[in-house]
Amino acid sequence: MALDFAHGSVQWLTTDVLNATKVVTGLGFTPKAIRFYWVGLQSNSPSNAVSGAVNERRGVGFAVSAASRRCVGTFAEDNNNAASNDGSVAADNSVCITVDGAGTVDGRLDISSFDADGFTLIVDDVTPANITVFYEVWGGTDITAAVVGDIAEPAATGTQNYTVAGFTSDGRNQCVMFAGVQSVNALNTGQGQDSGLCVGFATSTSTTNNVVVVGNADDNSATSDTDGYCIQGECLAQIVIAGGNPNARATLSAWGTDLFTLNWLARATTNRRNIFLAIKGGSWQSSSYTIAGNTLNSTTTVSELPFNLKGISLIGRMTAQSTAGTSTAQDRIGFGSAAGTTSRNSAGVLDNNGADPTEIGTIVQYNSVLSFPTAAGAVQATYDVNVFGLNLFEIIVDTAGGAVGEFHGYLAFGNTYFPRNQSIGHPFII
């Protein structure tokens, strides 16, 4: 038995005509689940790039087959001398999507097939900008269920159940990945609205294993008004429209037969859109760590993972952990993936608070696992994988522009772990 993992990038270009395909091969296994993320900047591997001159076009997508996929996307216009211009969208007809400030969908990249050694993407709507799309792919015999779905923000606080065929009530070897936006419109229809994006992970009902990062920029603001939030103990959150503190917050509170349960600690905007990817099989641990992001070569180690490590996904916003229910200035989000000390990539975006005209920085890197830009288009902070061990990983500060006690959320994964071999009386991993 095994959990397989691979990650990499594809280049989605304005020259890619309608129905053009992008074939990813060489994974060494057939995919069962894929996660995508992007920020609106493009650069071919292994060349890093950073810019202060492109619009934010960021998002997250999930797929478990050519017919079962979800994605969310946000837009924020750079160098806008008038009011800020933002939009968002959630979709079930593509894996990557772009939207403009009026809410018009203007780019769609879909999945055409899951292949024996990779997958094939197809252009359903030509992109308005060159974009690097990073992917994380899971497969192997350990995975017994992989399901995508969408979640509408409920009309009341409290618990809500969400269907995942194959999940069990003991919660063993289960994971849910989340993303959400401000749009309340029907799936596949964008909205001219705040560019709020949240990204979260949950691997147990313990608050320790729920993490989320959020960024939001107000739409139609004369001077850019941007906020963010990051915390351990929640897996979904969204900041109040037109700026302020989070007014939607949820934590994974229970597992059930063919379902998981979210406890909505707060909610405000009925039908605000979220998506999820749920996987049964393999071993998963999500949580957070802190690192001295302002100190070159500072390290933090996550150790004693209860499985053989295959890969990690990271999220952050270059701040300390938030106080529950309280945002701080700056819409900044970073994403990253790694399968070893020489196999990693990252992307990040900043929508600068208090700017007029608007200032947006984006970054794409192939030699770091988290990276953040300045609004002017320089490298602000970067983090790399210093050690990738049997059951641990260590992160190191490569560019010391970050924060004291900086919060990063992580999702670590590996082969299925069996807590105890009853015949020999100790834990083992296969």
The DSSP result for 10-34, as a single string, is: EEE-TT--TT-EEEE---SS-EEEE
pLDDT score for 289: 98
**Token couple for 215:** 């960024």
Residues 312-323 as b/e (b if ≥16 CB within 10 A, e otherwise) read bbbbbbbbebbe
Taking the C-alpha atoms of residue 212 and residue 239, their distance in angstroms, rounded to an integer, is 12
How many CB atoms lie under 10 A from the CB of residue 193?
Answer: 27
Residue 191 DSSP label: B
pLDDT score for 5: 98
pLDDT score for 1: 61
pLDDT score for 243: 81
pLDDT score for 429: 41
Identity at 361, one-letter amino acid code:
G
pLDDT score for 137: 98
- pTM, to two decimals: 0.96
Angle in degrees, CA 220, 265, 273, rounded to 5: 45
Taking the C-alpha atoms of residue 79 and residue 84, their distance in angstroms, rounded to an integer, is 9
Taking the C-alpha atoms of residue 259 and residue 243, their distance in angstroms, rounded to an integer, is 33
pLDDT score for 221: 95
Q: Is the peptide bond before 246 cis (omega within 30 degrees of 0)?
A: no
pLDDT score for 421: 42
β-pairing, 131-139 vs 118-125, is unpaired
Which of 219, 34, 271 lies closest to 136 in space, CA to CA?
34
Residue 322 DSSP label: P
**Which residues, at least 6 apart from 32, have a Cβ–Cβ distance to it below 8 Å?**
64, 114, 138, 139, 140, 143, 146, 279
pLDDT score for 384: 98
- Please write down the HEC assignment for all residues of 327-378: CEECEEEEEEEEEECCEEEEEEEEECCCCCCCCEEEEEECCCCEEEECCCCC
Residue 94 DSSP label: -
Residues of the chain with pLDDT under 50: 420-430
β-pairing, 21-24 vs 49-51, is unpaired
Strands (E), 140-282: 145-152, 158-163, 174-181, 197-202, 210-217, 226-232, 236-239, 246-256, 259-266, 273-280
pLDDT score for 423: 32
Taking the C-alpha atoms of residue 9 and residue 364, their distance in angstroms, rounded to an integer, is 11
